[in-house]
Amino acid sequence: MNTQQAQIKINIPLPLKSFLDSKADKFGVPVAGYIKHLILKDVEDMDYPIYQASAETEEAYDKAVIEHNVGKTTKVKDIDAFFEKL
């Protein structure tokens, strides 16, 4: 699975950088990998936000499932126009 990536640049005091290098070396990982591990440990007990779909979205989903189950297909002549309407 490909996930989108973001790059973060931070400035830290040299003693903290030395500490991070030491800890990362202890575990045999790059400093960036060690920092990712720290962040993941910090957020592991957080719940991922769940949002309720709108009634309109749920109705469209139900309709799409029914159409899929009966084998309905959509023929598109102009794909660009089709996606603009969505």
Number of structural domains the chain divides into: 2
Residue 71 domain-assigned (yes or no): yes
Residue 48 domain-assigned (yes or no): no
The answer on 59 and 38 residing in a single domain is: no
pTM above 0.85, yes or no: no
Residue 3 domain-assigned (yes or no): no
Q: Which domain holds residue 37?
A: 14-43
Residue 19 domain-assigned (yes or no): yes
Residue 5 domain-assigned (yes or no): no
Residue pLDDT, tens place only, 11-44: 999 999 999 999 999 999 999 999 999 999 999 9
Residue 66 domain-assigned (yes or no): yes
Residue 61 domain-assigned (yes or no): yes
59 has a pLDDT exceeding 70: yes
DSSP string, 14-83: HHHHHHHHHHHHHHT--HHHHHHHHHHHHHTTSPPP--PPPHHHHHHHHHHHHHHHTT-----S-HHHHH
